[in-house]
Structure 1
Amino acid sequence: MQRSGYHHGSLPSALVAAALELLDEGGAEAVRVREVARRAGVSPGAPFRHFADREALLTAVAGEVLEDFAAWQGEAAGAAEGPVMRAFGLGFVRYAIRHPHRFGLLRSRVFGASQPEELRPRLGELELLLNGLVVAAQRDGELPPGDPEVVALGAQALVYGLAQMIVDGFLPAERAESLAEQVLNTYAATGY
């Protein structure tokens, strides 16, 4: 998608939007500051007035993706027909299927060994949502008792692994969502 150029409003937001387009088109490798500036309709040096470097821009994009992912997960949980943790897990996998490059950026910036400081509040909100869902599911007998953080970790490991297998092409794309549903149904039936 070609932009007509930046004219008014928030230049940082316009730069992040252009970078997000590039991410969706070709992954993090496609996000180049010069191309972001071109799409936003500004000079090649303009992004550096708002972002120290490409890494700072990618962190800002990761923040937008994390916000989008959290909203997606909240909607999945809110629209649950059946066990909410199953819906949450399926939402996670569906997000990765529909947005593989965004999932890749989350994997590298958010779900890695360390998160940029500016992303921690958003990640904390997502963790609170998940822990709240786990506690509610435990209370309702859908999940076994135990430390909610450990149960949440197990759930995250399952859906993260499924999502990664799908994005990596290990599971056939045309059957990925169906296979994910079957796996999640199997674990939902066992109380996990």
Structure 2
Amino acid sequence: MTTPRTRARNRRGEGAQLRDEIVDAAMTLLEDGDGQNVTLRGIARQAGISAPSIYPHFPDLDSILLAVAQRAFGILERELSAPDDADPVERLRAICTAYLTFAEGRPHQYRMMFGAAWNAAQALDRSPAMADELSVLGMGAFEIFRRTLADCVTAGRSTSADPFRDAAALWVGLHGFAQLQVAAPLFPWPPELRDSIVDRMALLA
């Protein structure tokens, strides 16, 4: 478990740094798997600040967790990136592999991104002002799937007539596979299952 630190007082103009450190603290608690401490007090303790010091930067816990989810999806988006000049099918396979690697390597962040430690729908009910930010959460990562599948169609490598719909189906398949591997680690998963999910959901020729 990461030890909370004592933080020196910010100089004038360093408020943005403190905001980032608050998000860092929340992510550290999630990575440690210590979900019970992902509270305003727990985050403040991890960041080495008092709980009231959070409020100039975040009005509540939901806004912190939204910032955590945004950062996590940003990391995922970077890890999904692949050279545009690569064969589109190989690029799509590499993206799917990177997605599952992210889910396996950052399990607590991944679960939070998809509702385990933070329910975005409930947060929206509590804070309707989050609607605009929540509506685009994860869309950068999804767009990589959609664009790459569209490239497969253009190259005559996929029979998809609707890359948006089929990219969404592919995402659902990968997410389900990632979750089931955690829930049933002793199940004899076929070694070619990942490629089969990609082939079927992306309608690869």
Q: Report the TM-score when normalising by structure 2.
A: 0.76
In terms of fraction of residues, the more helix-rich structure is 1
Q: Which moved more, 1:156-165 or 1:124-133?
A: 124-133
Cα 1:34/1:46, change in 2 over 3 Å? same
2:127 is matched with which residue?
none
Q: How many residues align?
A: 185
Percent identity over the alignment? 21
**Structure 1 residue aligned with 2:32:** 25
Query: Which structure has the greater CA radius of gyration?
Result: 2
The 8 Å contact of residues 29 and 38 in structure 2, kept in 1 or not, is answered as yes
The match for 2:73 is 66
The answer for the alignment partner of 1:170 in structure 2 is: 184
The Cα of 1:91 is off from its aligned counterpart by 1.4
Question: How far is 1:142 from its partner?
Answer: 2.9
1:162 maps to amino acid: F
Distance 1:116 1:29, change over 3 A: farther
Shift, 1:64, TM fit: 1.0
- Say which of 136, 142, 146 aligns to 1:131: 146
Equivalent residue for 1:44? 51
- Structure 2, unmatched stretches of 5+, are 125-129
Give the corresponding residue for 1:5: 7
- Measure, in 1, the Cα distance between the counterparts of 2:26 and 2:47: 9
Instruction: For 1:158 and 1:48, locate their aligned partners in 2 and report how far apart those are by CA, in whole Å.
Output: 39
Q: Supply the AA of the counterpart residue of 1:170.
A: A
Structure 1: 5+ residue stretches without partners: none
Post-superposition shift, 1:106? 1.1
* Residues 153 and 159 in structure 2, CA contact (< 8 A), matched pair in contact too: yes
